[in-house]
Structure 1
């Protein structure tokens, strides 16, 4: 049983979502059964189905809410900034921070689209939400190239490389590691601006406001400092 997930004083829907995120991230959606979820939160299969219509619907809901929260957060951050340099810096630092602070949720967001039924309404919706988020990256890079601030040979390849750098923190970042999250974000911004060949004379760049980062209430807090592979944690 996962710590605190059987606490009856905690909302059952939130307990189920926390257990789902933890199990989907650690052992994969396909390898997680409704029975596994029930065991984690001390509920019967019927009890789980009282709160969710199906395992796939649960996954879709988690991904939908998480993607919308991410989009809303980044749009709030970007709103007052117009320079492509600032917008790209905010996108890099915020995506890095989100993945470092919510590693289980973001692993599910990034890795389990394949588990949604192709062609289903949920699959189509999640792809559209992903595209809406990535559009901010596309525009920031394209605008920087158009105004001559960035020099990029392949905008798509550059975008994918930068986003992969940021999302990787869900796999290796630890709050008790050698670098603070602020230091990691700042260094990634430096690396990212170097990748687009931004001028060193451009001046200070915007930094994300931690209070504007998206909130994922189901993120399992006890999972963030456990570096062991999934096999060792079972």
Structure 2
């Protein structure tokens, strides 16, 4: 079911967050006003402030919930997965899939930290959450190197390169494109494991149902292949 942003009978908080993600992703946080949000959801400015204390607080909340969702989902996916190659494969495929399936939410997550007030509680919290997520990548690479399963000259540069490859799908992936999401994830895993000089054999595959769900992702750009029950 497609959410009508102007439907006053629909959940107001969800409509505001969906409109915010849509506008922040398309035109940027700085160029989006409360008036723009109010117009998008057929509300007054006062109506918006009834649900959010400020535009920055709205951005921080979206980023906070999304980052926590990514961290929690990643922890579940990696639970009881011991081989560094398997863990790296899951990290690559999951980050790729999240960005492909929720392109606007992830564009806001990745690109709007600069819009939070430096030194504010929200700014510091989002940085800490990002660090907590990236720690999964750091551990997987470090463990692989320590076990001599990976050969990496610079772990930081390797991590940044692989993560950038994955996050880029929010800009170019299309559900009706030449490759399915599963094919993209599999190819990226092959590329990623080649980068750390380990064979891409017998690695675990990603269960898309384990990915975090962002209910505010604008439905007009969402084409999610997961089962209906996994999206609720």
Tell me the TM-score normalized by structure 1.
0.93
Rounded to whole Å, the distance in 2 between the matches of 1:222 and 1:185 is 23
Give runs of ≥4 in structure 1 deviating > 4 Å: none
Aligned to 1:216: 214
Provide, for residues 133-166 of structure 1, a one-character-per-residue CA deviation record: whole Å limited to 9, x for no partner: 0000000000000000000000000000000000
- Counterpart residue number, 1:207: 205
The answer as to whether partners of 1:99 and 1:167 remain within 8 angstroms in 2 is: yes
Structure 2 counterpart of 1:82: 82
Q: How does 1:153-172 map to 2 (within 5 A)?
A: 153-172=153-172
Aligned length: 222
Q: Contact 1:34/1:45 (CA < 8 Å) preserved in 2?
A: yes
Mapped to 1, the partners of 2:218 and 2:199 lie a distance apart of 41
Counterparts of 1:190-201 in structure 2, within 5 Å, are 190-199=190-199
- Alignment-derived partner of residue 7 in structure 2: 7
Which consecutive unaligned segments of at least 5 residues does structure 2 have?
Answer: 224-232
Distance 1:26 1:51 in 2: 22
- Which SS does the other structure have where 1:42 is aligned? coil
Aligned partners of 1:117 and 1:186: how far apart in 2? 38
Q: Tell me how far 1:224 sits from its aligned partner.
A: 4.4
CA RMSD between the two structures:
1.2
Structure 1 unmatched ranges of 5 or more: 226-234
> What CA distance in whole angstroms lies between the structure 2 residues aligned with 1:199 and 1:110?
30
Are 1:174 and 1:224, in contact at CA under 8 Å, matched by a contact in 2? no
Per the TM alignment, residue 68 of structure 1 is displaced from its structure 2 partner at its CA by 0.2
CA-to-aligned-CA distance 1:98-150 (integer Å, 9 cap, x gap): 00000000000000000000000000000000000000000000000000000
Which secondary structure state, in structure 2, belongs to the residue aligned with residue 91 of structure 1? helix
